[in-house]
Structure 1
Amino acid sequence: MSKKIFSGVQPTGNLHLGNYLGAIKNFVDLNNDNSNECIFCVVDLHAITVKQNAKELRSNIQETIATFIASGIDPKKSIIFNQSQVPAHAEGAWILSCVARMGWLNRMTQFKEKAGKDKEKASVGLYSYPVLMAADILLYDATHVPVGDDQKQHLELCRDIAQKFNSDFEIENFLQVPEPLIQKEFSRIMSLKDGSRKMSKSELSDLSRINLTDDKDLIINKIKKAKTDPLPMPNTTKDLDERLEAKNLLGIYASLTNSTLEKSVEIFAGKNFSEFKEKLSEVLVDKIQPISLEIKKLLDDKLYLDNTLLEGVERANKIASKKIKRIKEIVGF
């Protein structure tokens, strides 16, 4: 059955291996399946829920687009655009925020995590951005949305909003209720310095992550210095429960080789970490170096990136403007 897929990535800049294995690699697979219709959005409206430097934000949008294309997403086949340039997203978010309920948003755990102890100082946008995410998805009648563990709750909210809108205005199935697409294999990549923390560009040490712009020597050096433990490689996946760094590195290997954690454990059982790290470096260099070189090449061609975005915005706008026009009519505008 054909799927209409919508997903978004925040333009944070300096995308890393966690972003690639957790989302972008999956996007490429979805793009390559001819039965899918894919829409990939750079969610720059979401980005400003926390203060941004305007110049950096513009640069990060271009870098994110370059990373999509360098990783293998075809902009002629899939729609690639940035959210702020399609007005229906902001309009839809307002209308749907009048359908969503405070109780639903109060249950969103990600806001509590991101706002921290002093939530009174967090922006209203950070609190309500799951409603904007719902608008992003519902404007395109998406049937499926790739989600990681941290976004499952937001997709549930999106489904609730769609069902309530359809019910409130007695218009059955007008807003498509999307299904989650959850990666079965390893998708949460942890820091190379601490297996209990997610890989992040905000971590001070650059040795904690593999950036998608890293060259061969940097990748090899970072894997060589990645934290491990003094024991040999584990014999079973059960052994990984207490060995978070080993689990993370084996998970990265499994993801890059399109294998399973079980199979990867089996291959390296009882071997030295140095032998495993050598193999892991090889597969990382094979996968990441071509992406890194292509990102740099694309970033030197700003005109191509601007034109690609412009084409994507036009294609997205055609779909979203029709949907928001109908939404306004239903509401009574």
Structure 2
Amino acid sequence: MLASRLWRSQIARSPLGAVRYHHIVPGQTHERVIFSGIQPTGIPHLGNYFGALANWVKLQRDAAPDDELLFSVVGWHALTLPQDPQALLAARTTMMALILAVGIDPKRSIVFHQDEVQNHTELAWILSCHTPIGKLKRMTTWKTRLAVSRNANDESEIDDSLLNAGLFTYPILQAADVLAYGTTHVPVGEDQQQHIELTRDIAETFNRAYPLPSPLLTLPKLMLTPSKRILSLRDASVKMSKSAIDPNSRIVLTDSADIIRARIRSATTDSIQGITYDPVERPGTSNLLTILAACTDEDVSTVAARYASKNHGALKADVTDAVIEAFKAPRAEFERLREETAYLQQIAEEGALKARQRSDAMLAAVRKRIGLS
């Protein structure tokens, strides 16, 4: 289980040798502080659901009583690419409804809009003054996001002249999102591993610059999500994306059973007899096995073994049934919640208040440490 005792946070020892508790709010200690966020840019697809939202629900379900969980709609990150203001406003509410619909309980977890807690941007600015440009240049995700936004087939087609400062420096904001709460564990996919490593580097740099009376910022641990990344149904060389031009390349949480059935039926596979899991030689077939394994919560090799003597038609039929079943309950709950705008606003306000209360202590300590208060 993701929330096994193996990840239990006790007392952390910094590289400088000082011992400190992970959470700095006076009178409060938590076994783990878990933070994760999702952008309000369109309805989540299969990859988003199994890579983030379903994993959040597992973390909440398996969390120890003293664990603190924070899940955020990260609106400021959405601004790194052009957005229609009215569409973004609606998407924020939609994402809040979806987070609740999949099973996140606001009475157990803190659910909030990142852009309603100013501590994130203040800390991001402070951290940006301690982050070398060279570290940011080594980040690869901005190239991927630019390529997708420009519908480019190759990241090499993208040059720095198209890069805005926000997209270049957003890993620092992501670091601030995490560090503002004394986060001990960050659940992410493999594509975000580099960003968590940067977050730890930034925290270490800050702690070295201001070591006394003891290191202040917690170095968060990476929690890799168990689901392998889910690829496009039409081009298994790229990830499934909400912004891809071809809508048949993805399945989103609100798709009807008929749409799901049609898109999986038309998913690209190969002409090789039998079913095997081979992401290099058989990416399309392997992608369907990955999706089925995510739906059934099994290891993909176990799933592949069951289909060794079957054909793609049987595999696609079972993948279709599994996806429809997995999406049935959260889709119905989302349809109900999306009309409850007053309730969604109340949850967002209460979550933002809790998030501010928890991050205020960290920001006060940071300001004092650097000489601004």
Please give the alpha-carbon distance, in whole angstroms, between the structure 2 residues aligned to 1:115 and 1:245: 25
Give the superposition deviation at 1:114: 3.3
Please give the alpha-carbon distance, in whole angstroms, between the structure 1 residues aligned to 2:145 and 2:248: 24
Q: Secondary structure at the match of 1:181?
A: strand
The 5 A counterparts of 1:43-58 are: 43-58=74-89
Identity between Structure 1 and Structure 2 (%): 39
Give the superposition deviation at 1:332: 0.6
Please give the alpha-carbon distance, in whole angstroms, between the structure 2 residues aligned to 1:203 and 1:51: 15
The 5 A counterparts of 1:290-309 are: 290-309=329-348
Please give the alpha-carbon distance, in whole angstroms, between the structure 1 residues aligned to 2:209 and 2:84: 40
User: C-alpha offsets along residues 33-74 of structure 1, whole Å, 9 cap, x if unaligned?
Assistant: 231321011110111112211111111111111111111111
What residue is the counterpart of 1:135 in the other structure?
A: 176
Q: Secondary structure at the match of 1:145?
A: strand
Alignment-mate amino acid for residue 112 of structure 1 = K
Please give the alpha-carbon distance, in whole angstroms, between the structure 1 residues aligned to 2:291 and 2:231: 9
What residue is the counterpart of 1:161 in the other structure?
A: 202
Structure 1 or 2: more helix by fraction = 1
- Report if the CA contact (8 A) 1:223-1:281 is conserved: yes
1:24 paired with 2:53, answer yes
- TM-score computed with the length of structure 2 as normaliser: 0.85
Q: Secondary structure at the match of 1:93?
A: helix
1:323 paired with 2:362, answer yes
Please give the alpha-carbon distance, in whole angstroms, between the structure 1 residues aligned to 2:307 and 2:336: 36
Q: Secondary structure at the match of 1:241?
A: coil
Q: Secondary structure at the match of 2:280?
A: helix
What residue is the counterpart of 1:68 in the other structure?
A: 99
Please give the alpha-carbon distance, in whole angstroms, between the structure 1 residues aligned to 2:82 and 2:125: 21
Alpha-carbon RMSD: 1.4
Give the superposition deviation at 1:186: 3.2
Please give the alpha-carbon distance, in whole angstroms, between the structure 1 residues aligned to 2:56 and 2:331: 18
The match for 2:230 among 154, 174, 189 is 189
User: C-alpha offsets along residues 194-239 of structure 1, whole Å, 9 cap, x if unaligned?
Assistant: 111110121222211111001222212221221222233324x3x4
Please give the alpha-carbon distance, in whole angstroms, between the structure 2 residues aligned to 1:71 and 1:219: 18
- Report if the CA contact (8 A) 2:269-2:284 is conserved: yes
Q: Secondary structure at the match of 1:7?
A: strand
List alignment gaps of at least 5 residues for structure 1: none
The match for 2:136 among 105, 121, 127 is 105
What residue is the counterpart of 2:239 in the other structure?
A: 198
Give the superposition deviation at 1:240: 4.5
The 5 A counterparts of 1:151-300 are: 151-171=192-212, 172-183=214-225, 185-235=226-276, 237=277, 239-300=278-339
Give the superposition deviation at 1:282: 1.3
Please give the alpha-carbon distance, in whole angstroms, between the structure 2 residues aligned to 1:57 and 1:313: 18
Please give the alpha-carbon distance, in whole angstroms, between the structure 2 residues aligned to 1:34 and 1:265: 31
Alignment-mate amino acid for residue 181 of structure 1 = M
- Report if the CA contact (8 A) 2:275-2:311 is conserved: no
- Report if the CA contact (8 A) 1:11-1:60 is conserved: yes
Following TM superposition, where does structure 1 have runs of at least 4 consecutive aligned residues deviating by more than 4 angstroms? none
User: C-alpha offsets along residues 117-153 of structure 1, whole Å, 9 cap, x if unaligned?
Assistant: 2322321111111111111100100100012122111
